[in-house]
Amino acid sequence: MAMDSLVALEVIETLENYIDKIRPPEDMRDTYDITYKIDDQSVVIYEVREHWKKKKEKIESLIAKTTYVIKQKHWKVFWLRADLKWHTYEPKPIVNSIQEFVHLVEEDEKHCFWG
């Protein structure tokens, strides 16, 4: 089940503001960019890079993920480990708002998101 429209609007507004703040300059965005996507109840922040050899191909590198739990009205936070699976972000596995999630990613206390 997808998140309700009020939550989705809050997500879009928060992530648009955050991504706009951290994106590279416009003239670099063909080779490197940062964006996000909403998939049902989840939001994923990721990098898009040009392939080092095949310049027309793009590579997506996942950074952080959060999933909205409708019944509890909170967000679960995940990071991508070297095994390429999402794992609970142990310093703070649950947050109460999308803004709190963005703050965790931005702060990256344990260097899990931005490497």
Residue ranges of domains in the chain: 5-107
**Residue 38: predicted pLDDT:** 95
The residue among 2 and 105 whose pLDDT is bigger is 105
Q: Report how far apart, in Å, the C-alpha atoms of 102 and of each of 50, 53, 95 are.
A: 25, 33, 10
Strand ranges in 1-115 using DSSP code E only, listed in sequence order: 32-39, 42-50, 58-69, 74-80, 86-88, 94-95
What confidence category does residue 111 fall into, taking pLDDT thresholds of 50, 70 and 90? Answer: very high
Model confidence, pTM: 0.92
**Residue 51: predicted pLDDT:** 85
**Residue 9: predicted pLDDT:** 95
Q: Answer whether residue 59 shows pLDDT above 70.
A: yes
